[in-house]
């Protein structure tokens, strides 16, 4: 981390080797009670979010990786590098791997043989200890409406009508044959040895982008979940994008998918950098909204957040954000227990990015937050609002262990939700009351690998715009 970051400090007591922070006036003496929320097993049997690499970052930003082509050879090159990163095991193809306008004789999606051989790719990845992911959208191809669903006498056009704007028709999910079509697709994926399915353009959600999506496409999520279950192969189901967070639909997602996109694409499409801080601020706020909704409806969640691709692996001139901001992104993805699906060019990771992705202490924190996601606790009040100076807590677990994040997001660039304007370095403080905990905790600064000793009242750090600290707390 840059030298500008000052290690977290105790409220009123300086940690060893650090300068004591000035006393901070409290704005509230009665923070709301902390509701501890946890993750439980997902509908398809997973106990942590997916971790790996996805092709879309480079596909959408080819200027970041000159000479790269979306084909089997170049995907294998990336994924062979992924195999060397401990803890990451899923190599996921995004849109473009399949034939674009029609399926096989039964209307099932097929791979583009000019660029991919999916069974061979799966065998290669599995030989490296990796798993294969593929991208799909709801519906069957418009050109396939006269084809018959396998092992039935039902034509696709009998149960699928209209045009959703993605060269696909819209299924009537009340028809039994629709489930049989989904089963046949999942069976084909199982035959290919697919391990991860990304289902995009699900509604409610997927705000209009020129398509004609149905108002309620949640049936596609239910159908794919049932299809995966009957296939006999364990596969993750990731659903996308910016999905409805009202109770009715959040429960559907929670009961049928393993992870769900909380935001839209983060990448700088067709630019020489992957991402900008403006959209990162938006991603943080969308996660905040997601977990606040989750706290309303659930005591535990069976679904993990997908905050979109993790674009922190390459140097700042390619990533598009500073090293401090890259670290803050990694901290928030870890804190959320979110999918850690890298979108960077794995063949050109810099030293800083490699440490962000593989740091052992940070990976240990990720294992903890895979069970207890962080939630916002506003400094001074313990509230849940969007704030420029923000605090988060994950846990505590019954053992007393917890994770705390303090952040200064800098001026709101238009999508952060908090409206702050200060570009100054500022103290960010959180008392135990703000965080909803009591007692004495031993505090450790994860990225700086520094023990801050036993603390009785809270933590604070002096942070510039885009900076943050990741802290672990253990009961003393």
Q: What is the CATH number of the domain that holds 191?
A: 3.20.20.70
303 and 419 part of one domain: no
What is the CA angle 353-7-394, rounded to 5? 75
Q: How far apart are CA 87 and CA 80, in angstroms?
A: 14
Confirm whether 2 is domain-assigned: no
386 and 336 part of one domain: no
Helix (H, G, I), strand (E, B) or coil at 196: strand
109 and 169 part of one domain: yes
Residues of the chain whose pLDDT is less than 70?
Answer: 1-29
The answer to whether 95 touches 135, Cβ cutoff 8 Å, is yes
β-bridge mates for residue 367, sequence order: none
Eight-class DSSP state of 470: E
Nearest to 393 by CA among 366, 371, 375: 375
Last residue in a domain, options 355, 373, 391: 373
- Burial profile 66-99: b = 16 or more Cβ within 10 angstroms, e = fewer: eebebebebbbebbbbbbebeebbbbbbbbebbe
16 and 68 part of one domain: no
Relative orientation angle of helices 247-256 and 277-297, to the nearest 10 degrees: 90
243 and 210 part of one domain: yes
Confirm whether 282 is domain-assigned: yes
Name the residues annotated as catalytic: 200, 265
Whole-Å CA distances, 169 to 140, 177, 382 = 6, 15, 48
pLDDT for 370-419, tens place per residue? 999 999 999 999 999 999 999 999 999 999 999 999 999 999 999 999 99
The answer to whether 266 touches 308, Cβ cutoff 8 Å, is yes
Confirm whether 317 is domain-assigned: yes
Enumerate residues 6+ apart whose C-beta is below 8 A from 214: 164, 170, 203
| Beta strand spans in 253-294 (E) | 259-261
State residue 16's pLDDT score. Answer: 28
30 and 55 part of one domain: no
Enumerate residues 6+ apart whose C-beta is below 8 A from 129: 83, 89
79 and 23 part of one domain: no
Nearest to 44 by CA among 218, 202, 256: 256
Strands 441-445 and 467-475: antiparallel
The answer to whether 313 touches 353, Cβ cutoff 8 Å, is yes
β-bridge mates for residue 240, sequence order: none
Q: Which H helix or E strand runs over 192?
A: helix 176-192
Helix (H, G, I), strand (E, B) or coil at 62: helix
β-bridge mates for residue 38, sequence order: 300
74 and 218 part of one domain: yes
The answer to whether 111 touches 98, Cβ cutoff 8 Å, is yes
pTM of the model as a whole: 0.95
18 and 136 part of one domain: no
Q: How many independent structural domains does the chain possess?
A: 2
What is the CA angle 414-420-425, rounded to 5? 120
Last residue in a domain, options 373, 406, 435: 373
Last residue in a domain, options 323, 354, 373: 373
- φ/ψ (deg, to 5) at 245: -110, 15
Nearest to 366 by CA among 387, 343, 389, 337: 337
Confirm whether 440 is domain-assigned: yes
27 and 46 part of one domain: no
State residue 210's pLDDT score. Answer: 81
Neighbours of 292 (CB within 10 A): 14
Alpha helices, H only, 101-246: 118-127, 156-159, 176-192, 218-231
State residue 208's pLDDT score. Answer: 76
Domain containing 447 equals 9-34+377-475
Query: Domain holding 420: CATH number?
Result: 2.60.40.1180
Confirm whether 4 is domain-assigned: no
Confirm whether 241 is domain-assigned: yes
β-bridge mates for residue 141, sequence order: 168
144 and 160 part of one domain: yes
407 and 318 part of one domain: no
Confirm whether 1 is domain-assigned: no
Please compute, for residue 7, the number of CA atoms within 13 A of its CA located in the half-sphere on the CB side.
Answer: 21
Confirm whether 424 is domain-assigned: yes
């Amino acid at each position: 981390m840059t030298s500008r970051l000052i290690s977290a400090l105790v409220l009123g007591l300086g940690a060893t080797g650090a300068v004591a922070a000035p006393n901070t006036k409290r704005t509230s003496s009665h923070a709301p009670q902390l509701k501890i929320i946890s993750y439980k097993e997902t509908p398809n049997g997973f106990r942590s979010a997916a971790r790996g690499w996805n092709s879309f970052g480079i596909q959408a930003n080819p200027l970041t990786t000159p000479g790269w082509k979306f084909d089997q050879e170049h995907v294998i090159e990336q994924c062979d590098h992924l195999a060397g990163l401990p803890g990451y095991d899923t190599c996921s193809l995004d849109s473009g791997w399949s034939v674009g306008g029609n399926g096989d004789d039964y209307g099932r999606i097929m791979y583009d043989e000019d660029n991919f051989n999916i069974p061979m790719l799966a065998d290669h990845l599995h030989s490296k200890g990796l798993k294969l992911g593929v991208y799909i959208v709801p519906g069957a191809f418009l050109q396939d409406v006269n084809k018959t669903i396998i092992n039935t006498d039902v034509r696709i056009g009998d149960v699928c009508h209209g045009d959703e704007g993605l060269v696909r028709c819209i299924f009537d999910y009340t028809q039994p044959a629709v489930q049989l079509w989904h089963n046949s697709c999942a069976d084909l994926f199982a035959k290919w040895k697919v391990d991860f399915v990304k289902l995009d353009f699900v509604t409610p959600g997927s705000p209009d982008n020129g398509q004609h999506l149905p108002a309620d496409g949640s049936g596609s999520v239910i159908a794919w979940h049932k299809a995966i279950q009957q296939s006999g192969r364990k596969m993750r189901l990731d659903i996308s994008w910016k999905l409805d967070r009202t109770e009715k639909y959040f429960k559907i997602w929670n009961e049928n998918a393993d992870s769900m996109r909380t935001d839209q694409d983060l990448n700088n499409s067709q630019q020489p950098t992957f991402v900008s801080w403006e959209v990162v601020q938006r991603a943080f706020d969308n996660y905040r909204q997601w977990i606040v909704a989750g706290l309303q409806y659930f005591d535990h969640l069976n679904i993990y957040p997908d905050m979109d691709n993790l674009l922190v692996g390459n140097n700042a001139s390619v990533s598009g954000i500073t090293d401090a901001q890259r670290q803050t992104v990694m901290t928030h993805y870890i804190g959320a227990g979110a999918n850690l699906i890298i979108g960077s060019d794995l063949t050109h990771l810099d030293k800083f990015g490699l440490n962000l992705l593989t740091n052992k202490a940070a990976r240990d924190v990720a294992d903890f937050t895979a069970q207890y996601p962080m939630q916002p606790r506003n400094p001074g009040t313990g509230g849940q609002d969007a704030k420029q100076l923000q605090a988060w807590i994950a846990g505590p677990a019954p053992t007393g262990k917890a994770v705390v994040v303090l952040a200064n997001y800098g001026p709101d660039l238009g999508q952060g939700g908090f409206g702050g304007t200060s570009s100054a370095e500022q103290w960010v403080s959180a008392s135990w009351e703000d965080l909803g905990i009591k007692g004495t905790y031993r505090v450790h600064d994860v990225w700086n690998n520094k023990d801050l000793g036993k603390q009785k009242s809270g933590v604070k750090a002096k942070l510039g715009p885009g900076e943050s600290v990741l802290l672990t707390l253990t009961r003393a």
